[in-house]
């Protein structure tokens, strides 16, 4: 049964969601809340959206259905090496400083917390970086706690198995060095990295931050990125206060660039880096550093030697560094002429929610702007909203049937949703009007190989390698999320050897 948008029933539901979980659905997002609830109810046996809300309001929604509901109300998907500037800061500055602190205080281990870890990519990224950093160094044992309210996402994290989509921003060495290949283009995190991370459900709005009786405190670093943006202002203040209290003296809080401007805490000093914004816990009281002063740059410190599995790399960590660490501008569309550059800037800074809002505002005024629809599809995909991304891809293609970007993204979405039979015709259509699309050939080869069509796979791999000869070794290919021609050749070589 459909629920009226203006019903007090829906408003009461929205407020209870906010109170219990901190999730903020303002009036302009009420239709989104309704749709997510109806999608969740469709998975519950004998239940529609209205009954689901009624049970929730009466505190009678059972654990299983509540788990389904929360999986739809939260974003349960992320990807490896998200917001690389923060990871570079972790590798270059946070780790060396906290290791030194542990030695000074005679502490026996480092404690890291990924708060709002979703499907685990952030926690395993941190574990891989620590393992990478420890090569040839004396590093104390490390505990990594990873928590989320979305139990479904945590189950995926505990399995440690991922598809190509999760690696869309990751450097090639991460998958090669820390994952074992599985059939159907899936990859499992290696045991020594998996054992570094403990996953547990946790509601950040609750007063007690404890897991199996163990309090989450004395943390050296807390990553809470792209989590606070979904909270109400009151919940954001409370959660920030509790996260700060969980930090050890001098510990670091890492949030996304879009969230940094919303944190106002007298015991958190802002530290500005070229590609990241960090917060460091300081003692309150007279004579202490003023957290409200302008960002304080870190002194230069050498990057760790990049050694992985015995192979010498360059002297700099091979993390793709973000182009800007500036705080995100406030979400507003000023004119049709500059929407593209503003959205591009927001995406570069990792401010995906602001980018989504800008694009929706722009498309309300310009519903036939195919380019904006295509960009919105990619933003939604990077937020983990694959159904929304598919819808906007299809809308972009209805406006421009020769839109190669949307065509390739639509195929990637079908593959991520486990629908290669739908991906193949989309890619073949793309090659019909753009026969030199390297990644379309490469993806079709992978699909054909998984289906046992070795001759077809070999033909597409050969076409991709032939087309790659037109690119410089370090030239980045279109639609590749930063992969160079050399890296794609290496991937094709790896895939071909598995055939």
Q: What is the 8-class DSSP label of residue 203?
A: -
Surface-to-core class of residue 274, CB atoms within 10 Å of its CB (0-12 exposed, 13-18 middle, 19+ buried)? middle
When pLDDT is averaged across residues 155-180 and rounded to a whole number, the result is 90
Buried (b) or exposed (e) across 10-42, using 16+ Cβ within 10 A? beebbeebbeebbbbbeeeebeebbebbbebbe
Q: Indicate the burial class of 470 (C-beta count within 10 angstroms; 0-12, 13-18, 19 or more).
A: exposed
Average pLDDT over residues 49-66: 93
187 in Cβ contact with 181 (< 8 Å) = yes
Q: Pick the residue with more confidence: 498 or 359?
A: 359
Summary mean pLDDT of the chain: 83
Q: Is the CA virtual torsion 38, 42, 43, 46 positive or negative? A: positive
Rg for the chain (alpha carbons), in Å? 23
Across the range 388-397, mean pLDDT stands at: 92
What pLDDT score was predicted for residue 129? 94
Burial of 135 (0-12, 13-18, 19+ CB in 10 A): middle
Structure confidence at residue 253 (pLDDT): 97
pLDDT at 135: 87
SS3 state at 497: helix
Give the whole-angstrom CA distance, residue 476 versus residue 231: 37
Of the candidates 318, 293, 290, which has an alpha carbon nearest to the alpha carbon of residue 304?
Answer: 318
Distance between CA 390 and CA 396 in Å, rounded?
10
Mean pLDDT, rounded, for 244-255:
95
HSE-up (13 A, CA, CB side) for residue 486: 7
Calculate mean pLDDT across residues 257-268. 85
In residues, how long is the chain?
A: 499
User: How much is the pLDDT for 332?
Assistant: 33
Give the number of other Cβ atoms within 10 Å of residue 5's Cβ: 12
Residues 6+ apart with CB under 8 A from 323: 275, 348
What's the mean pLDDT in 363-385?
Answer: 88
Average pLDDT over residues 287-302: 32
More confident site: 251 or 357:
251
Give the contacts of 263 (CB within 8 A, at least 6 positions apart). 228, 240, 253, 255, 279
Give me the CATH code for the 336-498 domain, please: 1.25.40.10
Band of pLDDT at residue 377, cut at 50, 70 and 90: very high
pLDDT tier, 165 (very low <50, low <70, confident <90, very high otherwise): confident
Is 256 within 8 Å of 350 (Cβ atoms)?
A: yes
Average pLDDT for residues 286-296, to the nearest whole number? 37
pLDDT for the residue 320:
33
Can you give the residue ranges of every domain in the chain? Answer: 8-73, 84-312, 336-498
Q: How far apart are CA 78 and CA 230, in angstroms?
A: 15
Contact 224, 118 (CB under 8 A): no
- Binning pLDDT at 50, 70 and 90, where does residue 321 land? very low
Mean pLDDT along residues 280-290: 60
Q: How far is CA 477 from CA 33, 446, 471, 486, in A?
A: 38, 18, 8, 10
pLDDT, tens digit, for every residue of 87-142?
989 998 999 999 999 999 888 899 999 999 999 999 999 999 999 999 888 899 99
Say what the pTM is: 0.69
> Helix 386-399 to helix 404-416 angle, to the nearest 10 degrees?
150
Residue ranges in 119-171 assigned as alpha helix (H): 121-133, 151-159
Does an H or E element contain 145, and which?
Answer: strand 142-148
DSSP assignment of 24-47 equals: ---GGGHHHHHHHHHHHHHTSTT-
Residue 370 pLDDT greater than 60, yes or no: yes
pLDDT for 293 equals: 31
Residues 453-477: tens digit of each pLDDT: 989 999 999 999 999 988 888 888 8
- Kindly write down the DSSP assignment for every residue of 411-446, as one continuous string: HHHHHHTT-HHHHHHHHHHHHHH-TT-HHHHHHHHH
Q: Among residues of the chain, what percentage have pLDDT more than 70?
A: 86
Amino acid 496: pLDDT: 66
Cα of first residue to Cα of last residue in the chain, in angstroms, is 51
Query: If you classify domain 84-312 with CATH, what class do you get?
Result: alpha beta
């Amino acid at each position: 049964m459909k629920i009226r948008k203006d019903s007090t029933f829906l408003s009461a539901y929205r407020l209870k969601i906010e109170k219990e979980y901190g999730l903020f659905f303002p009036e302009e997002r009420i239709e989104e809340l309704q749709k997510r609830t109806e999608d969740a109810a469709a998975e519950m046996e004998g239940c529609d959206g209205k009954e689901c809300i009624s049970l929730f309001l009466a505190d009678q929604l059972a654990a299983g259905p509540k788990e389904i509901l929360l999986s739809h109300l939260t974003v349960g998907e992320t990807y490896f090496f998200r917001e690389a500037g923060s990871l570079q800061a972790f590798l270059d500055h946070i780790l060396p400083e906290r290791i030194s602190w542990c030695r000074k205080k005679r502490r026996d281990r480092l404690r890291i917390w990924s708060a709002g870890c979703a499907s685990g990519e952030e926690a395993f990224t941190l574990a891989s970086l620590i393992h990478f950093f420890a090569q040839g160094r004396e590093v104390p044992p490390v505990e990594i706690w990873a928590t989320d309210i979305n139990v479904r996402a945590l189950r995926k994290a505990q399995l440690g198995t991922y598809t190509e989509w999760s690696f869309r921003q990751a450097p090639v060495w991460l998958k090669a060095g820390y994952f074992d290949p599985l059939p159907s283009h899936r990859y499992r995190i290696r045991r020594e990295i998996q054992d570094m991370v403990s996953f547990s459900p946790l509601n950040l709005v609750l007063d007690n931050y404890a897991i199996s009786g163990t309090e989450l405190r004395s943390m050296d670093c807390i990553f809470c990125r792209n989590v606070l943006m979904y909270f109400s202002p009151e919940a954001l203040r409370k959660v920030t206060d509790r996260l700060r209290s969980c930090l050890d003296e001098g510990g670091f809080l890492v949030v996304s660039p879009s969230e940094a401007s919303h944190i106002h805490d007298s015991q958190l000093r802002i530290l500005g880096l070229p590609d990241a914004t960090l917060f460091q816990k300081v003692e309150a009281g007279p004579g202490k550093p003023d957290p409200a002063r302008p960002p304080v740059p870190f002194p230069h410190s050498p990057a760790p030697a990049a050694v992985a599995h015995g192979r010498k790399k360059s002297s700099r960590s091979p993390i793709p560094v973000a182009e800007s660490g500036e705080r995100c501008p406030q979400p507003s569309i000023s004119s049709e002429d500059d929407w593209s550059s503003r959205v591009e800037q927001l995406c570069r800074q990792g401010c995906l929610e602001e980018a989504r809002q800008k694009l929706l505002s722009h498309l309300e005024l310009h519903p036939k702007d195919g380019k904006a629809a295509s960009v919105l599809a990619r933003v939604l995909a990077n937020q983990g909203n694959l159904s929304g991304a598919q819808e906007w891809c299809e809308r972009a293609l209805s406006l421009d049937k020769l839109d190669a970007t949307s065509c390739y993204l639509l195929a990637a979405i079908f593959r991520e949703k486990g629908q290669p039979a739908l991906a193949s015709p989309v890619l073949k259509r793309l090659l019909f009007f753009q026969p030199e699309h390297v990644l379309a050939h490469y993806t079709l080869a992978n699909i054909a190989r998984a289906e046992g069509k070795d001759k077809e796979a070999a033909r597409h791999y050969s076409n991709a390698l032939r087309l790659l000869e037109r690119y410089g070794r370090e030239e980045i290919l279109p639609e590749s999320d930063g992969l160079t021609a050399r890296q794609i050749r290496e991937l094709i070589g790896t895939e071909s050897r598995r055939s």
